Amino acid sequence: MSGDRASPPADLGGKAFYMFVGNWVALATLIPMVIAGLMLSFLFIDRAEQDDMADLQRIVGGVARGMDAYLDSNIVIASSVAEAVHLYSGPNPGVSRSLPELIVSQRETVLSITITDAEGAIISASPGGARPASDLPELSRQSPARFSTLRQPAGGDAQLGVTVPIRDAADVYSGAVHLEFSLAPLIALGREIGGQDMDLRLLDAAGHEVALSAHVATSAVPESVLLADRTLSNGFVVSGRRYVQTVELREWNEYAVAACLLLLASMVSWLVAQAVAHRVTKPLAGLARDLADLNLEGGQHQLDVPDDAPREIRALFGEFNALLRRLDLSYGQLRESLEEAKLLRRRMEHVIDERDAIISKRTADLQSRTAQLERANSALQRVAMEDALTGLANRRAFDEFLALVWRLSLREHVPVSLILIDIDCFKSYNDHLGHQAGDDCLRQVAHAMRSLAKRPLDLVARYGGEEFAIVLGRTDLADAADIAQMVRRAVESMRIDHAAGGINGIVTISLGVASMLPDETAEADDLIAMADNNLYAAKDRGRNRVEFEFPTAPES
């Protein structure tokens, strides 16, 4: 047998010879190609590094500009909420309850809004709102807007908070608005323009950071790091690091590795083909056929070893047979496990269906109860602010509305007017016709007044008994007097019969009008007193008339 291995192939001068020469020619061609590729790669090292650095600086600058604009937009939102709270109510629990929830529902990136008073107590918050840090009010007093530290919740997008103080007209701190917003748009921007070989991060003053790109650095391959940082106007830093393989290594991967693999493949192929082709090919081909026809469903399996196979091939067949025995055993166990898994899955699906049905029923019940509570709450709010007899605003609604209009007029330096109205001789009307007729009369008079005050800053209210009040925001005394005359004529034109003492036998009204330009020395009660005095003057001067007078300047 050793003599056979030493004998040269019979066709060495034919096909085998040409294959031998062709392999060495290919090897001789690959070597200069590898050398030329390496030389070219060194020429482009400096240029490639410069291009990478310029690209990194451009991307970091773009992300920094986008971050500046995004942070400024959220400061504007928080400042708008603070201005709205101050303008319409100030930080008190009775007003603007729905403002945070409204803003969160309309802004997808806004996660929560919390409004606190000067002591830091929460007075209003969106459903996702959370109490700010204990030092939040102190920080709000020190600066117009202040950002919290970066947060990265488990399983969620990175978040950032901004706190804006609420200040009254005298620039006195009265509360704060804390807005939490998502950094998802900025992360999406970083991943879009950062690519897979760039690490973009956002850092705050405390050193917290959030990744803005999808690159995952690896230490398996030598890398060079290009650095570029950009500090924003609000103290945040956008940091960019580009992890790229050195230019030399990239060129080596493209040229040298390919050339070496070709060289190695050519040499190994030639040596292996000469050594094992004759004795190994046939039994291995038979092994391949047996393995291709293998079917694990058939039970026990055994490969037949060829009699003329070399010792190494026999050992290989023995290992394959041992592997097949273990495979048969594992396959049987796997089938049993699969059957058990199918049974367990069916049981789990049944349990899940039952749980889903229970959850769906409870969810429907909860939604129904919630809707009932909301309807009941709305009804209670209407009852609390509405006069049951006339449908007008009641005394409580009048007091709150007048206080709100007074503050707004003080801030804008515009006049506010008030009309107090009393039905003439209403007691004799009740005594003569009865309380039912008196209630009908009150409803008719209320209807006539309601149609003449329709602006957002106008309110018609039942002041008490047969007295009514009309608040007129942004209205001077002359216009208020004209409106009072229209109200008087409207009631007179209804010709409601009053034979028991009415003027000309019909129901009439007397009106007292007052108007003030609010300042720091006056209060809304002064306006009420002035209108009340004019009302009494109207009654003293014959009823069914409008009385008003311009306020005198206070003595110095």
- In this prediction, residues 84-112 reach a mean pLDDT of 69
DSSP E strand stretches across 332-372: none
Does the pTM surpass 0.75? The reply is no
> Is 516 contained in some domain?
yes
The domain of 27 spans: 18-244
* 473, 405 Cβ separation under 8 angstroms: yes
DSSP calls for 95-107? S-TTHHHHHHHH-
pLDDT tens per residue across span 84-93: 777 766 554 5
> Is 305 contained in some domain?
no
Q: Cα–Cα distance between 280 and 277 in angstroms, integer? A: 6
* 189, 238 Cβ separation under 8 angstroms: no
> Is 376 contained in some domain?
no
Which of 214, 244, 274 is the last residue before a domain boundary? 244
Catalytic positions, written as ranges: 466
- In this prediction, residues 195-203 reach a mean pLDDT of 72
User: Which amino acid does the sequence have at 325?
Assistant: R
CATH number at residue 174: 3.30.450.20
* 203, 193 Cβ separation under 8 angstroms: no
- The DSSP secondary-structure symbol of 501 reads T
* 414, 487 Cβ separation under 8 angstroms: no
Binning pLDDT at 50, 70 and 90, where does residue 247 land? very low
Asked if pLDDT for residue 382 goes beyond 50, the answer is: yes
The structure tokens listed for 459 are 């309110």
Which of 209, 244, 279 is the last residue before a domain boundary? 244
Per the structure, the count of domains in the chain is 2
The structure tokens listed for 371 are 């809707």
Binning pLDDT at 50, 70 and 90, where does residue 500 land? confident
> Is 419 contained in some domain?
yes
Helix/strand/coil percentages in the chain, nearest 5: 55, 15, 30
pLDDT tens per residue across span 211-220: 666 554 544 4
| Stronger pLDDT, 252 or 360, i.e. the higher one | 360
CATH number at residue 439: 3.30.70.270
Phi, psi of 364 (to 5 degrees): -65, -40
Which residues are registered as beta bridge partners of 110? Answer: 181
> To the nearest whole number, what is the mean pLDDT of the chain?
76
Identify the H or E element spanning 548. Answer: strand 546-548
pLDDT confidence of residue 261: 60
- The DSSP secondary-structure symbol of 395 reads H
> Is 403 contained in some domain?
yes
| 152-156, 162-166, 198-202, 423-427: range with lowest mean pLDDT | 152-156
pLDDT confidence of residue 8: 43
> Is 492 contained in some domain?
yes
| 252-266, 418-432, 464-478: range with lowest mean pLDDT | 252-266
Nearest to 88 by CA among 400, 336, 326, 300: 400
> Is 35 contained in some domain?
yes
> Is 500 contained in some domain?
yes
pLDDT tens per residue across span 115-132: 887 777 787 787 766 555
* 90, 156 Cβ separation under 8 angstroms: no
Asked if pLDDT for residue 446 goes beyond 50, the answer is: yes
Which of 223, 244, 265 is the last residue before a domain boundary? 244
| Stronger pLDDT, 151 or 465, i.e. the higher one | 465
